[in-house]
Structure 1
Amino acid sequence: MEVVGRLVAMLALLLAGTALRRGGVLGAERTARLNALAYYVALPAVVFVSTYDQSADELLSRALLVGLIVVMLGTAGIAWVVHRNRSSRPRRSVAVVQSYHSNLGYLGLPLVAATFDSGIAAIASVIYGVLSLIQLPLTIGIFSLLGSTSTSIRGEVRRLLTDPVLGALAVGLVVGAVGLVPPSPAIVGLDAIGTLALPLALICVGSSLRLGSSSLDVGATGSVMALKVGCMPALAWIVFSTLAVDHAVFAASIVMLGTPTSVSTYLFAQEFGGDAAFASVNVFVTTLVSIVTLSLLVVLVG
């Protein structure tokens, strides 16, 4: 019953974001402000509160690092084989990238923080950091290989290095390493702000979803969906079971890797000469389907 309630609540927030955009309530300026609130305030608060009293050595184990690399590169390799015969290079690049590029910040991290204890949320924060550092160069490499672009790669790297969530992760780990104890009122306040991360993120994602029927390729979109919310978490389950990690690492890894295609892949497609309309459809479909699959994953790992 709890799963059904979570599923309904997540769907309601996602669709509310879409309805608010279509109704004109969330215009470009208000959407940007809402995104900024989630990205620069709520998500960093979640990360700091979950990591400031944790040991970096315990959070980032060799097994976790190996498992994340194997799952990410393994899924990308499978996607390359599955989509290798698509005649359109812009569409092929988008299909490959969206089969592994996960929505870690706007769905994975806030969902883990809202569902599990702070220990698992801390590991999810580290997973966000590690996968962000793997995803970006891999995505840029694939788009550069299959697309045509004049976009500055240096600018994309700068954007990653100034990511406020990664910054909060670094600060939290440093505070934990030196043994500083932040004032209790500050932690309570940040914790309260962090509870807004999931609803804000879902509304932001919902407001960004757009489905254009003229760009619907059932076979290609179905393959992307199957790889992203089906194959990737299944591969993660196999890999992390083989590595025999503890429950916290296992739960955080499965949920984070089971997230849908990131909204940012649509922006990457625009910047790097990919099929942006096709990318928008895939974000829409994988996000809606993932609300169900993520709820099931939470139950299975819980």
Structure 2
Amino acid sequence: MSLVSNLLTMLVLLGVGIAARSIGVLTPARRELLNALAFYVALPALIFSSTYAQQLDEVLTPALLAGLWTVLVVMVATGWIVHRSARSASARSVAIVQSYHGNLGFFGLPIVAATFGDVTTAKASILLGMGALTQVPLTILILVMLNERDASLADELTQFARNPVILSLAAGLAVAVTDVPVPDVTVAGTDVLSQFVLPTALAGLDALSQLALPIAVICVGGALSLESADVELSTVGSVVALKVFLMPAVALAAFSLLASSPSTVRAGVVMLAMPSAVSTYVYATEYGGDERLASVDVFATTVVSLVTIFVLLRFVIGMG
């Protein structure tokens, strides 16, 4: 599928989600079921299938992790300064969080998988797992600190340890590093597991992983909302500028300096160019952030990123 076709497909799927929500087909209950299918089935299948057969030393590199954490530190510091004049602490906390907390799972990984090869997708899967381990505690900490809310990070991290994204990444990397042997089970001289069972299982896993992009994008479309317009447009514009334009530029600089592999640069830049995560709205609601601003920011960064991601993909595809 060409890059243009991928973009058009994303636009159509996003429109389907928005339309289904507006006419009442994608009700909150149905959206939760679709989210669960993406989060607990399709994304874990994509993560596992992209990592289990890789050479671990090729995909899990110091440059990959150093690039991720460098970009996050730069963006948090920049957001802290840029959004210091937000009209309230709740608005400032949301603006800072949504300037770095990207939609790595529902947008980033499926887009990388649809555009690049297995090695780049495996590196993007690692960025998703490590990014989640970094972004979620950091987001909760900022919201709690600026809004003076009580929360147990220990409880959040315990719950997060059961996250299917983390579990599937750990399983894929474990298989990759241990090279688990297949038991020899024969029937009438035929190795059943290697010739029939495993190929069928892997084909089913691959089919599930192909569902990640369409399901995830429909979920994002179904969650977008502009119902609350009582927000400072300057703050929304600042979040869009930082998340959609500055963060990919910082990622390109960081990964180009730290990594020599084009696949590492591609995975890092594309993943970190994603719009603000829909989950940031959930965290804002839970920890005293400005819910209206969070909703509008997700919508604005998602719409603008459809164009910027297309341009960025054309650029990184042309890298040597």
Superposition TM-score tier, normalisation by shorter sequence: over 0.9
Mean CA deviation greater in 137-146 or 106-115: 137-146
Partners of 1:293 and 1:159 in 2: CA distance:
34
> How much identity, in percent, do the aligned residues show?
48
Question: Gaps (5+ residues) in structure 1?
Answer: none
Partners of 1:118 and 1:44 in 2: CA distance:
15
Partners of 1:19 and 1:88 in 2: CA distance:
33
Structure 2 counterpart of 1:218: 233
RMSD of Structure 2 on Structure 1 (CA) = 1.5
- Runs of 4+ off more than 6 Å: none
Post-superposition offset of 1:150:
3.3
Question: Gaps (5+ residues) in structure 2?
Answer: 183-197
1:261 and 2:273 matched = no
- 2:81 maps to amino acid: V
1:125-204 pair list within 5 angstroms = 125-180=125-180, 183-204=198-219
Mean CA deviation greater in 138-147 or 96-105: 138-147
- Residue by residue over 1:160-216, the C-alpha shift from the partner in whole angstroms, topping out at 9 and shown as x without a partner, is 211101111111111111212671211111111111100100000000000035323
- Residue by residue over 1:34-86, the C-alpha shift from the partner in whole angstroms, topping out at 9 and shown as x without a partner, is 11111111101101111111133322211111111110110111111100122
Post-superposition offset of 1:276:
0.6
1:239-278 pair list within 5 angstroms = 239-278=254-293
Structure label with greater radius of gyration = 2
**2:85 aligns to what SS in structure 1?**
coil
Partners of 1:178 and 1:61 in 2: CA distance:
18
Partners of 2:316 and 2:4 in 1: CA distance:
16
- 2:153 maps to amino acid: I
Partners of 1:61 and 1:43 in 2: CA distance:
22
TM-score, with structure 2 as normaliser: 0.91
Partners of 1:169 and 1:79 in 2: CA distance:
30
Partners of 1:198 and 1:99 in 2: CA distance:
23
1:112 and 2:98 matched = no
TM-score, with structure 1 as normaliser: 0.96
Post-superposition offset of 1:258:
0.2
Contact (CA 8 Å) 1:215, 1:281: kept in 2 or not?
no
Mean CA deviation greater in 81-90 or 53-62: 53-62
1:205 and 2:216 matched = no
Partners of 2:69 and 2:39 in 1: CA distance:
25
Structure 2 counterpart of 1:285: 300
1:44-59 pair list within 5 angstroms = 44-59=44-59
Contact (CA 8 Å) 1:224, 1:282: kept in 2 or not?
yes
1:232 and 2:247 matched = yes
- 2:123 maps to amino acid: I
Partners of 1:65 and 1:9 in 2: CA distance:
31
Partners of 2:97 and 2:90 in 1: CA distance:
11
Contact (CA 8 Å) 1:100, 1:261: kept in 2 or not?
yes
Partners of 1:214 and 1:240 in 2: CA distance:
37
Aligned residue-pair number: 302
1:5 and 2:20 matched = no
- 1:202 maps to amino acid: V
Partners of 1:237 and 1:104 in 2: CA distance:
16
